[in-house]
Structure 1
Amino acid sequence: MKHTLMPWERGVVFRRGALLEVLGPGRHRLRWRDVVHRVDVRPRSYAPAWQDVPTADGVLVRVTVVLNWEVVDAAAFVVAAASPFDELHLAAQLALRAAVLTRSHDRVDAERGAIAAEVLSGMRPRAAELGVEVRAVAVRDVVMPAELRKAALNEIVARSEGRAALERARGETAALRSLLNVARLAEEHPALLELRALQSAHTVVVDRPR
């Protein structure tokens, strides 16, 4: 019986219920009762469903991660678990939960990189048992509860309004300072007021002596 495996495939061969060998790409001749499980070893990305995770201060934060992984041991991938995808998903959820639980809610979004590194480290032992290598983990989304999002928006608006009020106060202070300087000059130099009056007049009439 002939089997042809593509470059991205490995064939895990069982004979009479026992693991026999792992075949690489190419054409192979096997006994007709041999069972071959094809395993795709190409790198792939996987985004487990979002998860509501409690933070250290008791806030439920919705977090989504993306995994980049590939099969490095086809035999372990077939033998170690009935559903290696589900096991990988569970390992990601547990590692994410452990990483978020140590942080307050206001640190989760700011520390995405550190959380991703902790998830990667936490997943690796179980992934190795499954014949999988997790290449990278990224935190894709961090969604706070609606009440916190509203509070954060109000805080941003309040800061903007505060900056605007500060700029208005600075402008008014500068205007008052200018008026004060003008008043001092007028007090020290009365002739300046007469010159200003002459500059402001539209018509100057000079009475010539006859």
Structure 2
Amino acid sequence: MKHTLMPWERGVVFRHGKFVEVLSPGRHRRSFRHRVHHVDVRPRSHTPGWQDIPTSDGVLIRVTVVLNWAIDDPAQYVQATAAPEVELHLLVQVALRTAVLTRTHDEVDRSRDTIAQEILTTVRDRATTLGIDLREVAVRDVVMPPELRKAALSELLARAEARATLERARGETAALRSLLNAARLAEDHPALLQLRALQTANTVVVDRQPPSPT
């Protein structure tokens, strides 16, 4: 029998139920006694199903992750378990749950990169036994309950209002400081007040008389 493997495929060959070899891309001829499993070794990215996880302070949040992986050992991938992808998903979900359980709800979002690295470190060795090279894990979404989202929005608005109030107070303080400096200057130099009065009174009035009749 002829078997043609594409550049992104590998062929895992069995004969009488025993593993024989892994075929590289190209055309191969094997007898009818051989069974060839085609395995796609291209990198892939996908998101396992989201899950609601309680944090250390008892808040239930929804977290999703993105995985990037590829089949590194086709023979191991075919033989290790009946559903390697499902096994990988379960490992990631358990590691994610463990990472979130140790943090409060307000720590999870700002610890995305740390949580992703913890998952990768925890799962990578186990994934290798499945013939999978787990290359990257990223925390994509952290969704808080509606009540907490409203509270967070209120907090942001309060901070913005506080900043605006502070800027107004700074402007008023600067104006008062200028007036105080002017008052002190006038007190120390009374002649400046007289000079200012003269400048104010120094107004030229032009009175235009109509021409006298001739």
Task: Establish whether TM, by shorter chain, passes 0.5.
Answer: yes
Matched residue of 2:140: which SS? strand
In 2, the alpha carbon distance for the partners of 1:75 and 1:21 equals: 8
> Could you say if the C-alpha distance between residues 27 and 184 of structure 1 is closer, same or farther in structure 2, counting changes exceeding 3 Å?
closer
Aligned positions, number: 205
The correspondence of residues 26-65 of structure 1 with structure 2, limited to 5 A, is 26-65=26-65
State whether structure 2 residue 172 is matched by structure 1 residue 176. no
Q: Report the AA paired with residue 81 of structure 2.
A: A
Which amino acid is the alignment partner of residue 198 of structure 1? L
CA RMSD, 1 decimal: 2.0
Q: Report how far residue 37 of structure 1 moved.
A: 0.9
Q: Which residue of 1 aligns with 2:195?
A: 195
- How far apart, CA to CA, are the structure 2 residues paired with 1:203 and 1:29? 111
**Aligned mates of 1:25, 1:204 — CA distance in 2:** 101
Look up the match of 2:130. 130
- Aligned-pair CA distance for 1:3: 0.7
Partner residue in 1 for 2:149: 149
* Aligned-residue identity in percent: 70
Matched residue type, 2:45: S
Q: CA deviation at 1:202?
A: 5.9
Q: Provide the C-alpha distance between the structure 2 equivalents of 1:62 and 1:128, rounded to a whole number of angstroms.
A: 28
* Cα distance in structure 2, aligned partners of 1:181 and 1:74: 82
- CA positional deviation for 1:117: 1.0
- Give the Å deviation of 1:38: 0.4
Of residues 177-186 and 115-124 in structure 1, the stretch that sits farther from structure 2 once superposed is 177-186
Report what 1:208 is aligned to: none
| Deviation digits for residues 118-153 of structure 1 (CA, Å, limit 9, x no counterpart) | 101121233122111101111222222222222222
- For structure 1, the residue ranges without an aligned partner over 5 or more in a row are 206-210
In 1, Cα distance between the equivalents of 2:189 and 2:15?
112
Please list every run of 5 or more consecutive structure 2 residues that lacks an aligned counterpart in the other structure: 206-214
